[in-house]
Amino acid sequence: MASSRLKYLSLGVLVFQTTSLVLTMRYSRTLQADGPRYLASSAVVVAEVMKIIACVLLVFKEHSYSMRALNSILRQEILHKPVETLKLAIPSGIYTLQNNLLYVALSNLDAATYQVTYQLKILTTALFSVSMLGRRLGVYQWLSLLILMIGVALVQWPSESPSGPEKEALSAGSQFVGVMAVLVACCSSGFAGVYFEKILKESKQSVWVRNIQLGMFGLVFGLFGMLAYDGERVRESGMFQGYNTITWTVVALQALGGLVIAAVIKYADNILKGFATSLSIILSTLISYFWLQDFDPTSMFFLGAILVIVATFLYGYEGKPSPNPSRA
């Protein structure tokens, strides 16, 4: 009974995290407000700071709230093992790029299209798992990857628009930027996730300590990116320009959502994760259409979304490969 409750709780958490982050991020990037819009690069930096603080608190809790033990473990695992710590620089840099790309994607794509297209990370993760970890995929899994590609292609199928040619060209340009951002994010997510999994398997460090190391590099890369691309705007109006309640909600969901998922993912099997993905796609579609009103579904979209949902379930059908630990 308790196990069943935990499964349903984890399903609810997975659906809430994946749906709420996408919808609030999309809303925050399209909201018409007075003054300048918040800087995506700044949001990425703040999220890293929040993530580091949360992970430090979790390590503190793991060691019975002992400051001495916390100080010892951080010094021993981070300062005294520079080579091990430096290994995290590669996935951290890629994750920082990915987080910035997600803001670009949701500034140019509606939440439903983004949510379906981003499932291509299943394909990239599978391919990197085969090449980097030597993992073997079954027939059903290869078939699911083929169905996934067809489904995403149908979702991106151009639709006839009654609007003028100028608006149509602008929309097509934005769509292209958004899709390219998602595709690069999928590739980076697949590589960084598998690389991180490989590092976790080769060491006995706590996953929270590893995430502190990731966050430290992520903070450095994020600050560098913010100063390189938005340095002038930061000097003029500060890094917190345009922040409001919605912005802080997006940052908190991005920073802490991954930690929550890492905590509940052990209770979620492949079928449950498939249900979570399916429900998230359906909810994103409904809310984009009825609330955000920035999405006009077509028959091609529905067909593609159904194929992506089928592929998600089919991928978890044959065998049970160990889940790819997403960066918390």
Give yes or no for residue 159 having a pLDDT over 90.
Answer: no
Counting residues of the chain whose pLDDT is more than 90, the rounded percentage is 34
CA 186 to chain centre: 9
Instruction: Summarize pLDDT for 165-197 with one digit per residue, the tens.
Output: 544 444 556 888 999 999 999 999 889 888 888
Tell me, what's the pLDDT at 169? 47
What is the pTM assigned to this prediction? Answer: 0.83
Of 81-90, 125-134, 200-209, the poorest mean pLDDT is in 200-209
Residue 163 DSSP SS3: coil
CB 276, CB 9: distance < 8 Å: no
Is residue 226 scored above 50 in pLDDT?
yes
Q: How do residues 38-96 score in pLDDT, each as one tens digit?
A: 999 999 999 999 999 999 998 999 888 899 999 998 898 888 888 888 888 999 999 99
User: For the residues 111-140, what does the mean pLDDT come to?
Assistant: 88
DSSP designation for 63:
T
3-state secondary structure of 322: coil
What average pLDDT does the structure give for the chain? 84
| H/E element, 200 | helix 165-202
Determine the Cα–Cα distance for residues 41 and 45; give it in Å rounded to an integer. Answer: 7
| Of the candidate ranges 2-11, 76-85, 121-130, the one whose mean pLDDT is the lowest | 2-11
Report pLDDT for 167: 46
The pLDDT tens digits for 251-301 are 999 888 777 766 666 666 656 677 778 888 888 888 888 887 777 888 888
Quick one: CA dihedral 111, 116, 121, 124, positive or negative? negative
Closest CA to 275 of 13, 66, 15, 1: 15
Report the pLDDT value the prediction gives residue 225, as an integer from 0 to 100. 93
Selected residue with higher pLDDT from 219 and 6:
219
Distance of CA 229 to the CA centre of its chain: 22
Query: What pLDDT shows up at residue 218?
Result: 93
Cα–Cα distance measured from residue 139 to residue 115, given in angstroms and rounded to the nearest whole number = 26
Q: Is 41 exposed, middle or buried (CB count within 10 Å of its CB: 0-12, 13-18, 19+)?
A: buried
